[in-house]
Amino acid sequence: MRVAPERWFWAVQKHFFGKTTPMNSCVVGLQWGDEGKGKVVDILAENSDIIVRYGGGANAGHTVVVGDEKFALHILPSGSVRPGKTCVIANAVVVDPEVLINEIETLGRKGIRLDGRLLVSENAHVVLDYHKQEDRLREESLGKNKIGTTIRGIGPCYADKVGRSYAVRVGDLRDLQGLKAMIQNIVGYKNRLFGALYGAEPISAEDIFNKCIGYAEAMAPFIADTTEFLHDSIANGKSILFEGAQGSLLDIDHGTFPFVTSSNSSPLGMPSGSGVPAKMVQKFIGVAKAYSTRVGGGPFPTEQDNEIGQYIRDRGNEYGTTTGRPRRCGWFDAAAVSYSVAIGAIDSISLMHLDTLSGLKELRVCRGYKIDGKETTFFPANATRLAKAEPVYETLGCWDEEITGVRDFNDLPVNAKDYVCRLEELTKTPITMVGVGPERTEIIER
């Protein structure tokens, strides 16, 4: 049986120092999302008691492949597919009840039940139809300046949360009379706003409230104070795995604004999103692909809008899990990943999709940029400066062999091993897992 490295760590701690504290860890994306977080969380969930989504909403699409079965999870933590694990949707997640209920039912049809092991924070905000409508209307009105959002209502819901006066939280579903008045007030306001700004047809408060009656019934068993639950669980020696959504470069404060999502999707969002301080988490695990991808607008210095990008897209099946959009593909950007490592105090990297690079006739890695004639290795998290960045590349050796069957790092082609080792040097971070295929077992642990 595979024993996770962190279990060894705590076994050694216990032996020498008498410490028995279980390991809490956090998995986050180091690029622009879709790095393979779902797969890494699924693997690590085997040795965790509780898996927590702490930010984002149904804009996320996390894929878990178990044998022939493929799960695409948008709002449920990826640990949901492992029976017996407790799953938490914490305060800073924006919850689309329709997506949540649909996911619970879909898993239920496959024999995976969430009853008694899912907790949804009463303080999480609720995404309703008018958020999705606003997301769409705003993107359409922006024309070529659009952000390229997932149209899942994420930005508008977070805006309502920050604005406070027109927000609905999960706990509000417990009081339908109060909710009815809230919805009438909010929808009246939204209709005036959307009518004036976009000439939109009014939406019906009654329709939205009627849907909420169904949401309230389906979600009632899961609504909880998740902060209390998480602190009790830590006190009782449970181990917690925090599952980041999106990627660090899409962070609202530290990403490539305005081409970002509306939450702190870097590890900096984990404590505020869950109510568990970062010092209670022993290990931050960053997930990166062996190349780069991005969906939606925004600067992408190493983008290969050519046959190389197409080769990666075809082999890596780089089409959005949530929207089906083709992902933009390019070379690995060590400056970008090193920036995410720095802001997240990342302990180790899980490098996914090494198999996708087999057969390329050229292999490059960006180690820094030239901006206004000056070389830098520090990633400018600013869309205007990043748009001016010319990548400085290193060319590395290629390999033709298919590597999906490899499980021991030493059995990889020498150039594939050298590629991984060079990325470790450039990012100054150990690469402890290497993905060689989408399936749960297609992983090399180092």
Active site residues: 34, 62
Among 24, 25, 28, 34, binds ligand GDP (CB under 6 A): 34
The verdict on 266 binding ligand GDP (CB under 6 A) reads no
CA 99 – CA 62 distance, rounded (Å): 14
The verdict on 33 binding ligand IMO (CB under 6 A) reads yes
C-alpha to C-alpha distances, 179 to 159, 206, 214, 218, 322, nearest whole angstrom: 19, 11, 13, 16, 29
The verdict on 436 binding ligand GDP (CB under 6 A) reads yes
Among 316, 344, 368, 391, binds ligand GDP (CB under 6 A): 316
CA 158 – CA 153 distance, rounded (Å): 9
| Exposure letters 85-114 (e unless 16+ CB within 10 A, then b) | bbbbbbbbbbbbbbbbbebbeebeeeebeb
Phi, psi values for residue 123, rounded to 5°: -95, 0
- Here the tokens at position 185 are 């007030």
User: Candidates 58-66, 93-101, 227-235, 356-364 — which segment interacts with ligand IMO by CB under 6 A?
Assistant: 58-66
CA 381 – CA 10 distance, rounded (Å): 36
Among 24, 31, 59, 63, binds ligand GDP (CB under 6 A): 63
The verdict on 352 binding ligand GDP (CB under 6 A) reads yes
Q: What is the bridge-based pairing of β-strands 374-376 and 363-371?
A: antiparallel
Using the minimum distance from each CB to ligand IMO, give the nearer residue, 99 or 173: 99
User: Candidates 32-40, 145-153, 269-277, 368-376 — which segment interacts with ligand GDP by CB under 6 A?
Assistant: 32-40
C-alpha to C-alpha distances, 35 to 60, 253, 291, 340, nearest whole angstrom: 11, 20, 9, 13
Tell me the angle at which helices 334-344 and 414-427 cross, rounded to the nearest 10 degrees.
50
Using the minimum distance from each CB to ligand IMO, give the nearer residue, 23 or 40: 40
Determine the size of the site formed for ligand GDP (CB under 6 A): 23
Among 28, 44, 51, 65, binds ligand GDP (CB under 6 A): 65
Among 6, 28, 32, 37, binds ligand GDP (CB under 6 A): 37
Using the minimum distance from each CB to ligand GDP, give the nearer residue, 208 or 285: 285
Q: Which of these, 182, 186, 185, lies nearest to 216 by C-alpha position? A: 182
Helix (H, G, I), strand (E, B) or coil at 140: helix
- Here the tokens at position 323 are 């929207």
The verdict on 38 binding ligand GDP (CB under 6 A) reads yes
Using the minimum distance from each CB to ligand GDP, give the nearer residue, 26 or 182: 26
Among 353, 380, 389, 429, binds ligand GDP (CB under 6 A): 353
Among 262, 304, 356, 427, binds ligand IMO (CB under 6 A): 262
Half-sphere exposure of residue 56: CA atoms within 13 angstroms, side-chain side: 32
The verdict on 61 binding ligand GDP (CB under 6 A) reads yes
Q: Which of these, 284, 196, 226, lies nearest to 88 by C-alpha position? A: 226
149 binds, among Mg ion, ligand GDP, ligand IMO, none (CB under 5 to 8 A by kind): ligand IMO
Helix (H, G, I), strand (E, B) or coil at 132: helix
The verdict on 34 binding Mg ion (CB under 5 A) reads yes
Quick note: the x/- pattern for ligand IMO over 230-249, rule CB under 6 A, is ---------------xxx--
Using the minimum distance from each CB to ligand IMO, give the nearer residue, 223 or 295: 295
150 binds, among ligand IMO, ligand GDP, Mg ion, none (CB under 5 to 8 A by kind): ligand IMO
Half-sphere exposure of residue 263: CA atoms within 13 angstroms, side-chain side: 34
What Rg, from alpha-carbon coordinates, does the chain have?
Answer: 22
CB of 95 to ligand GDP, least distance (A): 18
Contacts of 153 (CB under 8 A, 6+ apart): 57, 94, 96, 127, 128, 129, 131, 132, 133, 134, 135
Tokens 């927590």 -> residue: 52
User: Candidates 26-34, 223-231, 246-254, 305-313 — which segment interacts with Mg ion by CB under 5 A?
Assistant: 26-34
CB of 353 to ligand IMO, least distance (A): 14
Write out the residues near ligand IMO by the rule CB under 6 A. 29, 32-34, 59-62, 147-150, 152, 154-155, 245-247, 250, 259, 261-262, 295-296, 321
Residue ranges binding Mg ion (CB under 5 A): 34, 61, 321
Task: List interacting residues with ligand GDP (CB under 6 A).
Answer: 29, 33-39, 61-63, 65, 316-317, 321, 352-353, 355-356, 435-438
